[in-house]
Amino acid sequence: MVDNTKVSKRPRGRPQIRPDDETRQMILQAARQEFHASGYAGASMNRVAERAGVSTKTMYRLIPTKAELFQSVISARISRFILEMDEEHLDGLPVDEALEHILIAYGTLTFDPDTVSSLRLVLAECDRFPEIAAAFDELALRRTTQTMEGWLRQQRDRGMIEIDDTATAVGMLRGMMVMEPQRAMMLGLKPPPDHAEIVKRARNCARLFLDGCRPKQR
Amino acid sequence: MVDNTKVSKRPRGRPQIRPDDETRQMILQAARQEFHASGYAGASMNRVAERAGVSTKTMYRLIPTKAELFQSVISARISRFILEMDEEHLDGLPVDEALEHILIAYGTLTFDPDTVSSLRLVLAECDRFPEIAAAFDELALRRTTQTMEGWLRQQRDRGMIEIDDTATAVGMLRGMMVMEPQRAMMLGLKPPPDHAEIVKRARNCARLFLDGCRPKQR
DNA sequence: TTTTTAGGAAAACTGATATTTTCCTAAATA
DNA sequence: TATTTAGGAAAATATCAGTTTTCCTAAAAA
């Protein structure tokens, strides 16, 4: 085995301006911008290279094709769709406030312009790139669903609410909270809701949902 | 004024195989298939002409450009998104059954593969064709919203339910009913729900919603 | 100084596709 | 029959974008 760090000499010719990995990151970032701005078909590889500040020659040395570049970009973005919530904190709250917090977190994530823009790309291209639909399902949908479903189950087990199918319930809750504003954003009809609107909507949804499945003592 | 039906002679040369309007319809239908199958960018005008059974020459004589063809196709499709419900019939039903019926109608319309396919096209291309987003909003969203909102208002005025903002409530109701299954369809993850599933979901939603905003007698 | 490598700029190559045009034939009237 | 028009088939044109290649220069080691 050879210890490259010291023993072997640097190669003869002109050294690389920067490590390939770094250049690749620059290309990925430029590609992200370009794809989000122009969609898959509309994105120009020349513009990607331009944005990244490298020549097309270097770009194609480091990335295989436009299609794979697209997949890398989307997967990287999707893998960051994580619903952050402090579960310890929720335990100390009354049920309705806890659900409100959850919905605020989910709404904030969902209405993020980057999220919407990525969703649009995924929906537009999932025919051509079925792996992207699968990745989206796995990384964006399942994970956030599980987080919310876990909480619902907990409340049910504590007798705070009455639900038979928690998975369906999560889907409904999410639809109620985000579908309409998100669709308006995607169509370019409305700007993202601001924080106050998100809070208001979350409160409404939480109340509606909890009243709808609060245990009845008939 | 000249009476063309009898007086003026037919023109000299070879007569048209069929009226231009008819040919245009054939082209529109072929284009609809092609666009739905391949999206805007992926659609080939040659294939459209082929499907329609006309030459590209004839096609371009009758339609201006690909872009305008696309808009015609989408607008025509959208204008058929009408939420059909028999309002007379609803009046005779208890509130929860009436709402169930409404949601079944809305779900059936929404989960129709043609609807989903059109929505995908609209979402994918609304950047390039803002008029399409506007048409979709006006024809598909507003109209069905108004139908549902009218009913909600009526129930509120009769004291059957307690809602302050009926527009928001309709949005939530719809999201609850359709977002998750529709998204799964768009991603190609699930087939459309069958009628039984739609009914079940509608019943769940109606119950949840009505329990959530039934007047309280505290 | 010579050799060697990295990589930019731009041209070339390739393939696809919207759109136009040419050429030809069929079917009608005069 | 001579003339005129409709329209199909296919070639021509134009453009665009992905990908490759050429040419050239900078910067390092030998």
One domain, residues B70 and B111: no
Span CA (B50) to C1' (D10), Å: 14
CB A175 within 8 A of CB A146: no
Answer whether residue A193 is part of any domain.
yes
Give me the number of domains chain A comprises: 2
Which of B145, B179, B186 to probe the A interface (max A CBs under 10 A)?
A: B179
Answer whether residue B82 is part of any domain.
no
In strand C, the nucleotides that come within 7 Å of a protein beta carbon are: 3-11, 16-22, 26-30
* Both tokens assigned to B103: 């949601």
Which domain range does residue A112 map to? 87-212
* Both tokens assigned to A91: 């335990």
What pLDDT was estimated at residue A4? 40
CB A90 within 8 A of CB A101: yes
Q: Note the pLDDT tens digit of each residue in B146-178.
A: 999 999 999 999 988 888 899 999 999 999 999
- Candidate from A74-88, A195-209, B136-150 with smallest mean pLDDT: A74-88
One domain, residues A117 and A190: yes
A60 nearest nt, CA–C1': D19
Helices (H), chain B: 20-42, 45-52, 56-62, 66-78, 87-91, 95-110, 113-125, 130-135, 143-157, 166-186, 195-212
CA distance B137 to chain A (A): 8
**Which conformational region is residue B159 in: left (phi greater than 0), alpha (psi within -120 to 50 degrees), or beta?**
left
One domain, residues A119 and A153: yes
| Strand D lies under 7 A from the Cβ of residue B65 | no
Distance CA A36, CA A31 (A): 8
CB A155 within 8 A of CB A76: no
CB B81 within 8 A of CB B146: no
Distance CA A69, CA A25 (A): 11
Q: Mention every residue, 6+ apart, whose C-beta is less than 8 A from residue A138.
A: none
Residue B6 has pLDDT above 70, yes or no: no
Residue in A42, A137, A188 closest to B130 by CB: A188
* Both tokens assigned to A86: 């402090």
What pLDDT was estimated at residue A8? 45
Long-range contacts of A142-150 (CB under 8 A, 24+ apart): A143/A81, A143/A82, A143/A83, A144/A81, A144/A82, A144/A83, A144/A106, A144/A109, A145/A170, A145/A171, A145/A174, A147/A83, A147/A85, A148/A83, A148/A102, A148/A106, A148/A173, A148/A174
| Average per-residue pLDDT for chain B | 89
Residue A42 pLDDT class (50, 70, 90 cuts): confident
The domain boundary residue, chosen from B47, B76, B105: B76
Per CB-CB distance under 8 Å, the chain A contacts of B171 are 179-181
Span CA (A15) to C1' (D28), Å: 6
CA distance A202 to chain B (A): 11
One domain, residues A108 and A27: no
Between B215 and B88, name the one with better pLDDT: B88
Residue A218 has pLDDT above 60, yes or no: no
One domain, residues A92 and A64: no
Q: Note the pLDDT tens digit of each residue in A54-70.
A: 999 999 999 999 999 99
Which of B99, B127, B214 to probe the A interface (max A CBs under 10 A)?
A: B127
One domain, residues B116 and B37: no
Crossing angle of the two packed helices A95-111 and A166-186, in degrees rounded to 10: 40
One domain, residues A118 and A156: yes
- Say if the Cβ atoms of B188 and A39 lie within 8 Å: no
Answer whether residue B162 is part of any domain.
yes
In percent, the amount of chain B with pLDDT more than 90 equals 68
In strand D, the nucleotides that come within 7 Å of a protein beta carbon are: 3-11, 16-22, 26-30
Residue B9 pLDDT class (50, 70, 90 cuts): low
Q: What is the mean pLDDT of residues A66-77?
A: 93
Beta-carbon neighbour count of residue B155 at 10 Å?
Answer: 18
DSSP characters over B32-88: HHHHHHHHHHH--HHHHHHHHTS-HHHHHHH---HHHHHHHHHHHHHTT------HH
User: Which residue ranges have CB below 7 A from strand C?
Assistant: A 11-18, 20, 23, 53-58, 61; B 9-10, 12-15, 42-46, 56-57, 60, 65-67
Residue A43: its H or E element: none
Residue A209 has pLDDT above 60, yes or no: yes
* Both tokens assigned to B185: 């369809």
In chain A, which residue's Cα lies nearest the Cα of B215?
A211
One domain, residues A167 and A119: yes
Residue in B133, B172, B174 closest to A205 by CB: B172
Answer whether residue A218 is part of any domain.
no
Answer whether residue A146 is part of any domain.
yes
CATH code at position A190:
1.10.357.10
The domain boundary residue, chosen from A77, A95, A116: A77
- Say if the Cβ atoms of B205 and A172 lie within 8 Å: yes
One domain, residues B103 and B70: no
Residue B123 pLDDT class (50, 70, 90 cuts): very high
CATH code at position A59:
1.10.10.60
Longest dimension (CA), chain B: 86
